[in-house]
Amino acid sequence: MILLKKKLVNITKNVGLVGGYLPQPLLERFNLFSVYKKTSKSTIIRKLVEEELLNSPSIDNMIKSIADSFLLLWRNTVPFSMYKTTVQQELKKRKLSAIQVEQIITVMENTQNGVS
């Protein structure tokens, strides 16, 4: 705790880890768990991600779902070609590969044109 403007303020520190942040209490528990398991934090994270991905939908299903969700957001007030550009920019911000972006856009176009 520190004194700011004559008020006690409890400062909690968030620590960056793998593209995100962990609150200090969670980080401390994670560090303890790492020592308890006698393994590195990166090994724990890799195993958790692998486990999560094993239970995830297929790549084709994820691409279709993402394309469908973007199509639901599209309004006819904007030309589809302009909307596709906006979607491409949004997907690139999310760090999807160029191939993944193209696959999603292709599914969007096919759905829009009535092709299965």
- Tell me the C-alpha distance between 20 and 17, whole Å: 5
Residue 25 in domain = yes
Cβ(63)–Cβ(103) below 8 Å = yes
Domain tally, the chain: 2
pLDDT at 21: 75
pLDDT at 3 over 60: no
- Tell me the C-alpha distance between 36 and 30, whole Å: 10
Q: How many C-alpha atoms does 76 have within 13 Å on its Cβ side?
A: 1
pLDDT at 5: 47
Residue 19 in domain = yes
pLDDT at 7: 47
pLDDT tens digits along 27-50 = 889 999 999 999 999 999 999 999
Domain, as residue range, for 44 = 9-54
Q: Are residues 39 and 65 in the same domain?
A: no
pLDDT at 15: 57
Residue 3 in domain = no
